Structure 1
Amino acid sequence: MKITSIGLKNGIFDDKYGKRGQEISIPFKIEDIPKNTKSFAFLFEDKDAIPVCGFSFIHWVGWNLTRDEVHEGESETANDFISGYHSLSKETDKHYVGMAPPDKDHTYELHVYALDCMIDLDEQHYFNDLYWKMEGHILEEAILKGIYKV
């Protein structure tokens, strides 16, 4: 499986997906999908946030995606997949939190999981709930990495 994004050029995410832009969710496309895939789950995270805030910062998490492409900004408009809680869910009702590295350039990772099932969770859940529901159902995982400049 392979993940690509038109929002990533030469390893750098476009400004519009973070603090210097509209903070709209990143677009991505899934290719070479494993046989028997019923749905996808995804996680967009910043492990470089650990020294700053003490944990890997989750910018977006979703599941029950049944198509191979997500367009920019669809975190707020799509109704055919579920967006769960991110690291600032108690402070904003947006489904996607834009990239905003406070100290240096950060590398952001989009993890996409091909699953052999749909996930029985509503949007009132965090990645840890999704993680346990995916256990034993992951056919393949792909990761797309990119940098957002300070």
Structure 2
Amino acid sequence: MRIRVELDERGMVPDRYAKHADAAHLYHGTPTTSFPFAVEEVPDAARTVALAFVDFDSIPVCGFPWIHWCAANIPASEAENGTIRFAENASNLGEHGMVQGRNSSAARWAGGSTDPLLACRYNGPQPPDRTHVYTLAAFALDTELPLREGFWMSEMVDGMRGHVIGHAVADLPARA
């Protein structure tokens, strides 16, 4: 499997999907318009696809990897010629019938937002100290996970055990 993301001329996540987004792409000061991307070479045997978008560079800043987005139960049957395409703003549009989990904005120590438009959707990169590299991972699964909207990423990871038949990772830098 492979993930394809179009970066800007500096090789970064384009500003409209990150910290420097204009007002049209912000919700309560947070960039919530997800960037377009494609997951290629989805195995024919896959039943669903799951996604995770995580900032491991946040560990020195806040003490844990910041979860920016997680989604599951994207039907592998959505693939055309082995590729599932995610349009701009796929998270807010609920594209492909994805079930979305909580991001770190929902954590008690990070404000504990209960607004599903902020806590259960894509939250774009907002590195506070320097350029961070964000990890987008896609997992092809041989099953549908027993998850509901607002799940915790740990529930997704637990459910995926023994069911991953393919995966891909893309490291995406975003500027401070």
**Structure 2 residue 61 is matched with structure 1 residue 45:** no
Identity percentage of aligned residues: 32
**CA deviation string 1:107-146 (max 9, x = no partner):** 0010000001111110131110000000000001100111
**Structure 2 residue 67 is matched with structure 1 residue 58:** yes
Provide the aligned length of Structure 1 versus Structure 2.
149
**Structure 2 residue 174 is matched with structure 1 residue 148:** yes
Question: 2: distance between equivalents of 1:139 and 1:25?
Answer: 26
Could you state the TM-score of these two structures normalised by the residue count of structure 2?
Answer: 0.80
| Aligned CA-pair RMSD | 1.3
Which amino acid in 2 is paired with 1:133? G
Hey, which of these two has a bigger chunk of helix by percent?
A: 2
Larger radius of gyration: 2
Please, which moves more after superposition, 112-121 or 23-32? 23-32
Aligned to 1:32: 41
Aligned to 1:73: 89
**Structure 2 residue 159 is matched with structure 1 residue 125:** no
Please, which moves more after superposition, 82-91 or 40-49? 82-91
Question: 2: distance between equivalents of 1:124 and 1:93?
Answer: 8
Question: 2: distance between equivalents of 1:4 and 1:137?
Answer: 23
Aligned to 2:28: none
**CA deviation string 1:21-71 (max 9, x = no partner):** 122112210111223011100000100000000000000000011231111
